[in-house]
Structure 1
Amino acid sequence: MTAAALQALVDQRARLVAQAGHLVDRARAASRDMNAEERQNFERMHDEAANLKAQIDAASASRGRAGQAGSAAAIASAEFARRAGLGDERLSSIRATEDYSRAFGDYVQSGRVSADLQADQSDKGGYMVPTEYANEIAKSLDNTFWFRQLANVLPRTTADSLQLPRRTARMRRFAWGAELTTPTKDTQLAFGQMTLTPGWMCGEIDVSNTLFTSGVVDVEEFVQAEITYAASETEEMAFMTGDGIRKPLGVFTPHADGVPASRDKVGTISTDDLYEAKFSLREPYLRSDRLAWLASRPFVRDVAKLKDSNNNPLWVVSVRAGEPDKLLGVPLTMSEYAPAGSGTDGAWASGDYAACIGDFKNYDVLDGLDMSVQRLNELEARRNMVVFIVRRKVAGCARHGEAFARLKIA
């Protein structure tokens, strides 16, 4: 998509949001709520605007991938990787070779196994994907869904788990005194340990034998695209609401090891309570370049009706491609996988989580290096299908719960 076409979508979305805002203003000027027809039109316009936003984001990501070497969030220092014991040089060197990449592509296309693949057989069945293939999938994961773009993505590892230090208490303040005053020894500073243990996710892809013989579809690219989308969707939901049991611990899940219940701000989707949630974060987190709101489409639709004391909207829609919408001056990310209302017709109910604001570089994502693809020729032969079984590992958890706050409906 050209830059001009992309900007045209941005402008079209801005016009829809403005038209929806006029409906709210008209009802407010008449000191009444919107009538049924106005509500229906308001919701329709915001749904159309949300769909346009999805198109804009997808097109922007596609343009950004051109020439992109990888997500900046995924780049970690070699020293960190060395100290943490990340990676396995033998496996990495095998999978990085051109011979292995060719052999893996041949395996996906034809099921033929060469000696190059046998050198790196997975103990879970199937064969490990080559380094370049895994990197392409990881890069696509970064660009397909939102959470990885916000989070701190660590280098992939073959280790069963990774221990990271986590400060649990700060050092006491210094005391004023004379030059020779004896300092008081600090007894408050304390560190704990956070363990990230990647859990397995698996999926099955059925591919028609006709595709292999048609010559129209690159089956390797097709399988990669399907892996990317299915894995992205699965982990995006877990990064939001996962319970941490063999899967990531989500930011909307109250848990002592992640974002605790003490970070909940109970209220409504109102100007005062949104300010309360934002300013419950300490100043260093408010200055972070990774500070963001994360919420569902219904939440965005509701905050679009809110204005401050100067009659300015709290939610400011982006007018340029690549720029985020903002809520109270903070970038707002809308996700279809963030919690929505649990009441009748999607209404907000007591106890629902409406939004999360935080410094997302304090949420760690760890991918296991052991990603395998197994091809089964006979399982669905009656349906003229070849089955691919894919397994990969991922973990995720908030390192510092104080870096986040959630708005919980009273």
Structure 2
Amino acid sequence: MDIDLDRGRAAPETKAGPEARAGLDELMRIFETYRQVNDARLDQIERRGAADPITDDRLARIDAALGDQQRRLDEIALRGARPALGGDPPADPAGREHKAAFDAYVRRGDASGLLAIERKALSVGSAPDGGYLVPAEVERDIGRRLVDVSPIRALATVRTVSASVYKKPFMTSGPAVGWIGETAARPQTNSPVLAELSFPTMELYAMPAATATLLDDAMVDVDQWLAAEVDQVFAEQEGVAFVSGDGINKPKGFLASTAVANGSWSWGNIGYVATGTAGAFPASNPADVLIDLGYALRVGYRRNATFMMNRKTESVIRKFKDQNGQYLWSPGVAAGAPPTLLGYPVVCDDAMPDIAANALSVAFGDFRRGYLVVDRAGVRVLRDPYTAKPYVLFYTTKRVGGGVQDFDAIKLLKFAAS
């Protein structure tokens, strides 16, 4: 029988150019070769009890090529979706004025324009420890690039706040109800149970350096340079924190929550399904534990659920078949579309742990319902021309927090006996 959790999930339609279509054709060609070689490996195991080492080596090389091609397709899709930097100035006069003033501050340290904008707005754009808000164009650009690099940010709910702590009430159980006879007494029922969740924002910083020559070069788009310098380091740091951060001076990742067997799940914990084998999938019918993981999630969450794992784990799961000999993993059907597993998207995040004893290496859930990313409005820059002469340092800060907001929306696969 075909394995499917409720229903297949159609991949989103993506407009693909010639490069993307050629890349997708190449991906499908590599995957077809992968299936043929893996089928031969399984046949060798069935007939002789072990696979030919040459076949294993060939399959490993094809598997690596398949992963590389998927990454190339992802990069093509991101390039097509990413807006051009350093283009036309903003249409509104206030935005053009802010951009020009910020450019003067970055290049020459002239803060008079930014101070004038603050006075006109009757607001303070400088943080207590110094620094100026970057123009809206740069802030939006950094945000878009973070979505490209950090899978959790792209999947989770994102809130922009002005305070240092975001508090959210959550109803963990509704009001008690019951059937009643026409003339029977109506006793008072229990009230809904609310929990208050708190998400503090933590400071994330980068301090790129530039030479005076670079800043004096009128051909250099300073906004573009600054965004390019900080986006990668911001994305890498926050991406790891959203997965496994301990909540101390950083967001709390969903893997940092207490994990309990799903049969004993309670609010405040995240449920897991054990593989039954420490540090590995079961030797027989390994795909069954993935199905158990899928059905551990309530049906309301499964509608928008996603598998999350790192590429090494995906490489192992890629070999699994159902009872009809059909592969459970399949590449995306369009450029930019993720691969699917059991009909659900697969997102690779290298912050997820490798398969090991007691590791929580696979997550499945509705991350938009389950995880909240909190951004404090504004990315700030403090220019420092003195500390590292002849370089000019740009102390760039962003405040971000995160944590689980619905502990029932994410389930984990634990590689343990129980």
Answer yes or no: same fold by TM over 0.5.
Answer: yes
1:350 to 331, 351, 357: 357
Show the counterpart of 1:338.
352
Deviations 1:48-84 (A, max 9, x none): 22222222222212323459xxxxxxxxxxxxxxxxx
Unaligned runs of at least 5 residues, structure 1: 68-94, 341-347
Deviates more, 1:194-203 or 1:104-113: 104-113
Superimposed CA distance per residue, residues 270-311 of structure 1 (whole angstroms, 9 cap, x where no aligned partner): 2111111110011100123xx101110011100011101111
* Structure 2 Cα separation of the partners of residues 241 and 20 of structure 1: 33
Contact in 1 for aligned 2:372/2:402 (Cα 8 Å): yes
What is the distance in 1 between the residues matched to 2:361 and 2:16? 36
C-alpha separation between the residues in 2 aligned to 1:272 and 1:360? 23
User: For residue 203 of structure 2, what is the aligned residue in structure 1?
Assistant: 200
Answer whether contact 2:172 2:267 (CA < 8 A) is retained. Answer: no
Corresponding residue of 1:71: none
Aligned positions, number: 369
**What are the within-5 Å matches in structure 2 for residues 9-408 of structure 1?**
9-30=23-44, 31=46, 32-66=49-83, 97-117=95-115, 119=118, 120-154=125-159, 156-175=160-179, 177-187=180-190, 189-255=192-258, 262-267=270-275, 268-269=280-281, 270-288=286-304, 291-340=305-354, 348-362=355-369, 363-381=371-389, 384-408=390-414
How far apart in 2 are the matches of 1:97 and 1:355? 44
Label 1:110 to 1:2 Cα distance change in 2 as closer, same or farther (>3 A): farther
Taking every aligned residue pair, what percent have the same amino acid on both sides? 24
Would you identify which runs of 4 or more consecutive aligned residues in structure 1 move more than 6 Å?
none
Q: Find the aligned partners of 1:19 and 1:101 in 2 and give their Cα distance.
A: 52
CA distance in structure 1 between the partners assigned to 2:405 and 2:209 by the alignment:
38
**1:104/1:117 contact within 8 Å kept:** no
Matched AA of 2:153: R
Structure-2 change in CA distance of 1:376 and 1:35 (3 Å): farther
- Alpha-carbon distance, 1:202 to partner: 1.2
Query: For the residues of structure 2 that align with 1:356 and 1:173, how far apart are their CA atoms?
Result: 34
| 8 A Cα contact 2:104 2:110, kept in partner | yes
Bigger relative contact order, structure 1 or 2 (CA pairs below 8 A, ≥6 apart): 2
What secondary structure does 1:309 align onto? coil
* Secondary structure at 1:195 match in 2: strand
Contact 1:58–1:144 under 8 Å retained in 2:
no
CA distance in 1, matches of 2:207, 2:250: 19
Query: 8 Å contact 1:259–1:398 — kept in the other structure?
Result: no
Change (3 A) 1:2 1:294: closer
Q: Give the secondary-structure state (helix, strand or coil) at the position aligned to 1:294.
A: strand
SS in 2 for 1:279: helix
C-alpha deviation, 1:370, in angstroms: 4.3
Displacement of 1:262? 4.9
Secondary structure of the residue aligned to 1:249 is: coil
Q: Which amino acid aligns with 1:281?
A: L
1:234 to partner: Cα distance: 1.0
Structure 2 stretches lacking a partner, 5+ long = 1-14, 85-92, 119-124, 260-265
Rounded to whole Å, the distance in 2 between the matches of 1:264 and 1:45 is 32
Q: Distance in 2 between the 1:42 and 1:259 partners?
A: 43
What residue in structure 2 maps to residue 75 of structure 1?
none
Deviation string, structure 1 residues 132-190 (Cα, Å, up to 9, x no partner): 32122212222333222211111x22201111011223433532x33343344322620
The corresponding residue for 2:20 is 6
Using structure 2 for the length normalisation, give the TM-score: 0.82
Q: CA RMSD in A?
A: 2.4
- Per the TM alignment, residue 231 of structure 1 is displaced from its structure 2 partner at its CA by 0.9
TM-score (norm 1): 0.83
